[in-house]
Each structure stands twice: as C-alpha cells, then as structure tokens.
Amino acid sequence: MQDNNQRHSLLDELDEEQRQEQERQRQMSGQMAVLRPVIEKMKAYANQVQVRGREVGFGMQNNIEYGSDEIIERGVVFATAEEKRGEETDSKTKEAVREIFKNQINPAEELGYILAGDRPFQIHNPKTTNAIIFSAAPDGSYLYYARDYSAEVRAGSSRLLSRRQAISLSHGKIKLIPDGFSQSDVENCFKFLLGKSDNIYLSKEAGGGSCFIATAVYGSENTPEVLALRSFRDDVLLSSKLGKALVNLYYLISPPVARLLSANLFLRNMVRKAVVLPIVNLVRSKHYPN
C-alpha cells in the first residue's frame, strides 16, 4: 500500500513538472510572437544592408552558446563577420589584443609575459564576428549582443592563440520592450553589427537606458561596476525629481561620449581609472557597503 502511494506521488510530481514545462514553453512562444515585429524590422534593414554589399546572416537557432556559462534556449540570430587577409599591422588592434590578454584571469604564462612587457608580437589573419540574438524567456524578451575576435597571435615562431580560441571584445544583455523598438533602435543594432559601434545603445522606450559611459569603458553592461551604478540610478536618483532630471540629462549627453570612448582605447582606459572607478567606489561606500 505504501509503495503504491509512493508511486502515485512520484507520478503526480512528474505530471506537475510536465505541466510547468508546457506552461513555460507556452509563455516563451508568446514572447517570441511579441518579438516578431522587431525581427521583421531587422530583416528588412538587413536586406537593405546586403544590397549595399555587406553580408548579414540571420535565422532561428536553438541552444546558442553565449559566453562561457550561458546557453540561450531559442533565439533569432543576426551576425556579420569581417576577415582580413594577411598580417594585421594596425596598432589599435594590437593594443586592444594586449589589453584583453592582460585582463585575462589566467593567460598562458608565455603570452602574459609577452603582452605585459614590451616584447614584439604579431597578429595573423584576424577575424571579428558580431552577433545579435533576439530571445525570449517566460519573464520577457531579451536582446543579447557579442563581439568576438579570433586570430593567430605569434611571438617569433611561437603560435600563442589559434583561430578556434576566440576572445570576447564586448558582450551584453538588454531586456527589451518590443513595442517601443523603433527604426532608430534598428539602426543602432546594425551600427554594432557592422562594426561602427562597440556596444548597442537602445532608446529607453525599447528597454535601453543603460549607463552608457560606464558600459563603454568596461566593455559590458553586466560588469559589477556597471551594475552598481545602475542600482544607484534606480534606487537613489530616480526616487527624487532632481535625480530624475540628472538621469534625463545624462541620457541626453552620454551616447555620443560613449561612442567616442568606444573608438579610443587610451581615452577609455583613462576615463575608467580617473572618472568612473572613483564614482563607483564612492557609490559603493555610501550606499552598498556590503
């Protein structure tokens, strides 16, 4: 009798799990349907871009790897790739690679030594891949974006990075408001896809309103520093009329400043260390000490 009760209990539990999963899938399908007008706008713009000679791939994909620890279950991907033949000699590219590897948690010992010092190194056959993923979850719609860089980095005859080992130049995630996604938001997405901008800046109506300057200097809107500033905006500034006015002024002037910073590595590092980091430390000490 007890075994029968246990079997029934287990079956009931499995039935409930199945029901919850079906409900989750139903909610995701609903969110994807809400995203359809946004995706159609993006596809129409992609067709215009391709007429002008730039290839844009797009399509529905499942189980998309995003970063090192996140799998996007279902999404529509727009992507471009730019590949240069031969050796990359651009000094800005080399400096960006040096900066990325200096910030790696545990780079190869030889590579870290070369890039942290003044030893010369070479970049061969670089490729940059930009991708935007429109995805859905039970709690809403999301836009993911990522820029990956791959190449062979060499010091003398040593090959230090293979083409298969891509490194991230920038990535981020924005919770969308599909009804507010305008044509200017479409164009801003394509500025990122075509390498004209290092990050995506959406309008507040579409779910943007990020800390533009902090995102530009840290390379992602998901870093602890950017999240701390965003919490300060939401918890403190937006609770008063003066704070709201300051936030609106910031949104007015910060996008062009962020674009300038995204295009200049030296300026980006200087602003991060001299301006943004002291503000982050002050915000944390005053409002988020723990």
Q: Which helix (H) or strand (E) holds 210?
A: none
pLDDT at 120: 72
Residue 11 to residues 2, 6, 22, 182, Cα–Cα distance (Å): 14, 9, 16, 48
- Quote the CA–CA distance of 218 and 229 in Å, as a whole number: 12
pLDDT at 175: 81
Q: Give the burial class of 126: count Cβ atoms within 10 A of its Cβ; 0-12 exposed, 13-18 middle, 19 or more buried.
A: buried
* pLDDT tens sequence for the chain (290 residues): 555 555 678 888 888 889 988 887 787 777 788 899 999 999 999 999 999 999 999 999 888 888 666 788 889 999 999 888 888 877 777 777 776 666 554 444 455 555 656 667 778 888 889 999 999 877 778 898 888 888 887 766 666 666 556 677 777 778 888 998 999 899 989 998 998 877 777 777 888 766 778 878 887 766 788 878 877 877 788 778 888 778 777 877 777 787 778 777 888 888 888 999 899 889 888 877 76
Give me the sign of the Cα torsion angle 175, 177, 178, 184: negative
Retrieve residue 77's tokens. Answer: 């991907």
pLDDT at 110: 52
- β-strand partners of 143: 134, 174
Q: How remote is the C-alpha of 255 from its chain's centroid?
A: 16
Q: Give the burial class of 167: count Cβ atoms within 10 A of its Cβ; 0-12 exposed, 13-18 middle, 19 or more buried.
A: middle
Q: pTM higher than 0.75 for the full model?
A: no
Token match 């730039």: residue? 54
Token match 């902090």: residue? 214
Residue of 78, 66, 81 whose CA lies nearest to 35: 78
Token match 């870290």: residue? 112
Query: Would you say 31 and 136 are in contact if contact means Cβ atoms under 8 Å apart?
Result: yes
Q: Dihedrals φ, ψ of 182, to 5°?
A: -100, 175
**Dihedral-angle region of residue 195 (phi above 0 means left; psi in -120 to 50 means alpha; beta otherwise):** left
Q: How remote is the C-alpha of 119 from its chain's centroid?
A: 32
Query: Would you say 35 and 207 are in contact if contact means Cβ atoms under 8 Å apart?
Result: no
Coil vs helix vs strand at 203: coil
